[in-house]
């Protein structure tokens, strides 16, 4: 049977039984909040609150992290009795007590206990234990933190397939470069020829990216020849150290195109990225800086080879020679909610400047209440305002010039509103209409009032003039 006591008396009775450490109270934030609620009469202490030993409802579990990336790690558990002011929850690593400081945060709130390591290091590996203690007893739960090293980003390039002749390989290279917004003018010697002494060479210079903030994304691209060499070995380095895999890194090799996408840049990602390639006939490397180059750092500007000079200009849309239209940023399929506003954006190049045409289900679009089309400096956008179910379908953007054309497609599906959302929308529209009517009526009344005041002033002026005459 639970016997409820007077809140004020309960506070002092419970405080009197809290164990002391070196003459000082050890009270958690949860206990302080609990005491504050008791003083305000919001809750009261019952005899059952202090009548059971600690018990973990959910124990902590083993965690595996990759320490070279510095991933976060969190141990969590639930413990009872959660309202026991005498309950003490402490965390240990290999028997040594841990405290909240720096990159470690410990919390205990209403029966939920957690240990959060924001950035792991190799020395964090070990056995972690959470120990709950009160006057009735003690309970412990344990788990392991396992720190695994990350592998280096290095690999061998695949050889050409047996059924791939030179023409097929050239076509595959063109398709790969097109997927990454690079249109290569291949001469034929970029393909691996058995028996020929072809040393590795980079045909696309990686660009420095000095203006970059933490949390932004970046893509590093280059092109390596000969394509199809089975003896080619590639490795990535950062500040001359082996570049290790991270969850934010996405390395890729596709028929000569070398790419490293970084989804989110962290402070330890800034520096000099380098790609080193070697085969039986030689070794070469290429590098770029992500973030500001340090003072005194030397970066040799290599002579721009035929392919990278042309490709870089294509990507930036700054060609001084004629070229057919080419889309460098394509559309993607979307699923949106009814009444949302959708923005479709496409980047393109071409000289002479191509014409841009947006269509939906084969019908050309024009600016209207629901559709806004903009075009400037090699970029065009289509904004669909307050989209409806009738506006779903296939949208195409076509660039056309006397030298050719290119297109990109997006299929948009619209999720209809729920009956509750429709009713809410109808109420808002009705309320908005009432406010608009009220606003217009107020304007008319104000206008009418000003007109009457003006006429009254004119009448008084005329009467005054007559009396003076």
pLDDT of residue 358: 92
Cα separation, 258 vs 219, whole angstroms: 10
Cα separation, 357 vs 365, whole angstroms: 8
Strand runs (DSSP E) across 81-188, as ranges? 88-93, 96-98, 104-109, 112-117, 126-134, 137-148, 154-156
Asked whether the whole model's pTM tops 0.85, one would answer: no
How many Cβ atoms sit within 10 Å of the Cβ of residue 77?
20
pLDDT of residue 97: 93
pLDDT of residue 467: 83
pLDDT of residue 407: 87
- Omega of the bond leading into 226 within 30 degrees of 0 (cis): yes
How big is the chain, counted in residues?
469
Residue 289's SS3 state is strand
Same fold, 7-148 and 154-316: yes
Cα separation, 369 vs 373, whole angstroms: 11
pLDDT of residue 298: 52
How far, in whole angstroms, is CA 130 from its chain's centroid? 34
Cα separation, 278 vs 233, whole angstroms: 5
pLDDT of residue 148: 82
CB 144 within 8 A of CB 59: no
- In the chain (469 residues long), the average pLDDT of successive 10-residue segments reads 46 48 47 62 50 88 79 89 86 92 85 88 89 91 88 84 76 79 63 86 85 83 88 91 86 88 86 92 91 62 43 45 82 86 88 88 87 88 88 90 86 85 73 73 84 87 82
pLDDT of residue 126: 92
Report DSSP letters for 152-172, one per residue: B-EEEPPPPPTT--HHHHHHH
Topology of 323-415 in CATH? Immunoglobulin-like (2.60.40)
| Helix 29-39, helix 7-17: angle, nearest 10 | 150
Strand runs (DSSP E) across 291-333, as ranges? 323-329
pLDDT of residue 34: 62
- Omega of the bond leading into 457 within 30 degrees of 0 (cis): no
Cα separation, 256 vs 222, whole angstroms: 8
* In the chain, domain spans: 7-148, 154-316, 323-415, 431-469
pLDDT of residue 41: 58
Closest CA to 81 of 42, 123, 52: 52
Topology of 154-316 in CATH? Immunoglobulin-like (2.60.40)
pLDDT of residue 22: 40
Give the chain's end-to-end CA distance (angstroms, integer): 103
Does domain 7-148 correspond to CATH entry 3.40.50.150? no
For 16, 49, 69, 80, the CA distances from 38, given in Å and listed in that order, are 15, 13, 46, 19
């Amino acid at each position: 049977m639970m016997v409820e006591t007077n809140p004020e008396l309960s506070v002092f009775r419970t405080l009197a039984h809290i164990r002391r450490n070196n003459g000082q109270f050890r009270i958690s934030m949860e206990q302080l909040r609990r005491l504050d609620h008791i003083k305000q009469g919001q809750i009261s202490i019952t005899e059952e609150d202090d009548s059971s030993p600690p018990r973990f409802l959910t124990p902590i579990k083993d965690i595996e992290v990759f320490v070279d990336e510095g991933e976060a790690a969190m141990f969590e558990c639930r413990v009872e009795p959660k309202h026991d002011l005498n309950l003490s929850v402490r965390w240990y690593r290999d028997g040594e007590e841990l405290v909240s400081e720096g990159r470690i945060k410990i919390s205990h709130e209403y029966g939920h206990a957690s240990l959060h390591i924001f950035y792991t290091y190799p020395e964090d590996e070990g056995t972690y234990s959470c120990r709950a203690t009160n006057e009735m007893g003690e309970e412990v739960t344990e788990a392991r933190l396992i720190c695994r090293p990350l592998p280096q980003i290095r690999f061998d390039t695949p050889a050409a397939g047996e059924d791939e002749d030179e023409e097929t390989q050239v076509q595959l290279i063109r398709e790969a470069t097109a997927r990454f917004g690079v249109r290569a003018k291949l001469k034929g010697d970029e393909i691996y020829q058995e028996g020929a002494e072809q040393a590795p060479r980079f045909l696309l210079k990686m660009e420095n990216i000095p203006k970059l903030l933490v949390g932004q994304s970046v893509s590093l691209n280059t092109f390596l020849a000969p394509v199809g060499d089975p003896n080619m070995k590639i490795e990535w380095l950062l500040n001359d150290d082996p570049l290790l895999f991270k969850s934010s890194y996405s390395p890729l090799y596709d028929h000569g195109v070398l790419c490293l996408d970084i989804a989110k840049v962290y402070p330890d990602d800034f520096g000099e990225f380098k790609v080193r390639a070697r085969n039986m006939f030689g070794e070469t490397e290429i590098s770029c800086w992500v973030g500001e180059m340090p003072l005194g750092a030397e970066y040799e500007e290599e002579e721009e080879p035929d392919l990278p000079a042309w490709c870089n200009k294509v990507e930036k849309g700054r060609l001084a020679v004629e070229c057919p239209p080419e889309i460098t940023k394509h559309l993607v399929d979307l699923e949106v909610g009814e009444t949302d506003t959708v923005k479709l954006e496409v980047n393109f190049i071409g000289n002479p400047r191509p014409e841009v045409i947006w269509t939906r289900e084969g019908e050309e679009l024009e600016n209207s209440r629901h559709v806004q089309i903009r075009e400037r400096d090699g970029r065009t956008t289509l904004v669909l305002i307050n989209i409806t179910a009738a506006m779903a379908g296939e949208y195409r953007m076509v660039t056309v010039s006397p030298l050719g054309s290119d297109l990109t497609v997006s299929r948009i599906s619209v999720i209809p509103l729920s009956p509750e959302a429709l009713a809410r929308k109808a109420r808002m529209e009705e309320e908005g209409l009432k406010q608009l009517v009220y606003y217009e009526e107020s304007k008319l009344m104000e206008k009418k009032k000003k007109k009457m005041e003006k006429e009254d002033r004119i009448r008084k002026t005329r009467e005054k003039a007559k009396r003076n005459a």
